[in-house]
Structure 1
Amino acid sequence: MVGGWRPGQGNRAGTVGGLLLGAHDPDGNLQTLAPRDRKTSPFAGDVPRDRARGARWVTPDLVGEVVYRQFTPGEHRLRHTAWRGWRPDKDPADVFVPEQPAR
């Protein structure tokens, strides 16, 4: 689910530079995210300062699909992500934290 985004910089100014979970929105779909603006983070825990800097928070009612190579157990972050697109067929209540592989 999308909980925030960071504005693009440089030649990407005026578009979405990235989504907070490390996903990237290549379409720069500001029309979808702008109406969902909010002043505070929708996440239950604190977002690290380096990730929150410049973030624009949104109401988390959209589901997007990302593929990733790693889910870090301690930090609960997705690594090496790629944005696949919006999933209007999915409800936010259906989104769960990835399962950890057995050790």
Structure 2
Amino acid sequence: MGLVVKARTSKYRPGRRSPEWLKHPLIQTQEVVIGGWRAGQGGREGLLGGMLLGAHDRDTGDLVYIGDVGTGFNHQALLDAQAKLDPLARSTSPFANEVPRDRARGAHWVEPVLVGEVVYRQFTPREHRLRHTAWRGWRPDKTPPEVLVPDTSRGAGDG
């Protein structure tokens, strides 16, 4: 989702990008409850690679998995996040629904007491997943029960 703008005098050239046509994706924000993390790989080996995100179902109140985030962190933010998450370790997933196998593999589960914020481009209505996420930071002003799954009845939802 987004907006495409062009110079009034530009011509359409099939199959080619032109600087006269600009694509601006619709970016939204969502508060999230951190339910786990995954170890980094490659250049992030030994560091946090990404966090597993949840929000509370609007009908049941259950904490449900809604996606993950692995971008938007600088090195210090990764270290700070790891320091916050390590003391919250638990042996099982805090999510009421099943986390996809590829995301759950090697996951380190945590007590769902920390709230953060991500930007995203899409919330899939059927799978209830955030797509194209990036980390924005911690939300110490919010409590986990305040974090709700995006309302898809309003379009893409902005939490």
Whether these two folds match at TM > 0.5 is yes
Distance, in Å, in 1 between the alignment partners of 2:46 and 2:139 is 24
Q: Name segments (4+ residues, structure 1) moved above 2 Å.
A: none
Structure 1 residues 36-51: aligned runs within 5 Å: 36-51=88-103
Output the TM-score relative to the length of structure 1: 0.92
- The answer as to 2:38 corresponding to 1:6 is yes
Task: Report which stretch shifted further, 31-40 or 21-30.
Answer: 21-30
Other-structure match for 1:85: 137
Distance, in Å, in 2 between the alignment partners of 1:50 and 1:11 is 20
Greater C-alpha radius of gyration: 2
What secondary structure, in the 3-state scheme, does the structure 2 residue paired with 1:38 have?
Answer: coil
1:69 CA displacement? 0.7
Q: Taking every aligned residue pair, what percent have the same amino acid on both sides?
A: 62
Aligned length in residues: 103
- The answer as to 2:74 corresponding to 1:22 is no
Consecutive unaligned residues in structure 1, runs of 5 or more: none
Other-structure match for 1:65: 117
Consecutive unaligned residues in structure 2, runs of 5 or more: 1-32, 53-66
Output the TM-score relative to the length of structure 2: 0.61
Distance, in Å, in 2 between the alignment partners of 1:102 and 1:3 is 26
Higher strand share: 2
